[in-house]
A = this chain, B = another copy of it.
C-alpha cells in the first residue's frame, strides 16, 4: 500500500487488552462470578458461526484461528494469540449470533463471559465502552489490512506478509517453530497448499528465509518487507 501502514494482517498489533482496567472492583467481580473457564484441545472449535452467542470469549492461553465458513474453503479473518477477546462483533441489538467460527491451533484456555453481563457493563460504564470501541477499531484495522493483502497481493507477497506477521506479532522473534502445517498456511494466505510450498521454496532458495521442518527463520527482513509490500 503506501504511507498509512497496513502491515498487520494476521492479528491485531497491540494485544495488551486494556478495556477491563476501566471496570470498578464491583464490575470486575460481576464478570468473575459469571464466567466459566474451559480447556480446549488442538483443532477443537470454540465458537461456531451462526450459533447463538451466549458468551464473549477471552483467550487466556493458546492460539486460535477466527474464520468464516465457506463451501469450497473457509476464509480466515485473523489468528488470535492469548490475551484477546473473541466474539465482540456479536454484541448487537436483537439477535446475538456468532459472525464467525473459531478453532484452536494449539491446546487453549478460554474464559466464557456472559454476553448480557458484558452488554450491561458497556451500557453502565462509558469508559469501558470507549475502550471496547478501541478494541473493535483495532480489529477493523487488521481486517482491512488482511482484506487488502488477500485481494491485491500475489502469492509471494502474501506468504512474505504472513511470515513477517507471525514473526512480529505472534512469536516476537525472527526464528520460531510454527504450530501450523503448510495446509494451515495455505488456508491463512488464501492459496493452495502446493503454492505455499513452491513460494516458500523460492524464498528459501533466494536466501530470504531458512526452513527446517516446523522451524522458520527470517534471514533477510528488509527484502521480505519489500516482497510483502510490492508482492
Contacts and interface: CB of A to CB of B under 8 A. Distances in A.
Interface in A81-131: 88-93, 97, 99-100, 119, 122-127, 129-130
Interface stretch (A2-10, A54-62, A167-175, A203-211): A2-10
A138 to B, nearest CB: 8
A33 to B, nearest CB: 21
> In which size bucket is the chain A interface?
35 or more
A72 B143 contact: no
Given A3-B50, A50-B2, A72-B152, A126 B122 contact: yes
A123 B126 CA distance: 5
A75 interface: yes
B134 A133 contact: no
A136 interface: yes
B73 A141 contact: no
Contacts of A1: 68-71
21 contacts: A3-B50, A4-B49, A4-B69, A4-B97, A71-B152, A89-B141, A90-B137, A92-B134, A92-B137, A99-B141, A99-B144, A122-B129, A122-B130, A123-B127, A129-B129, A132-B133, A136-B137, A140-B140, A143-B144, A143-B147, A146-B147
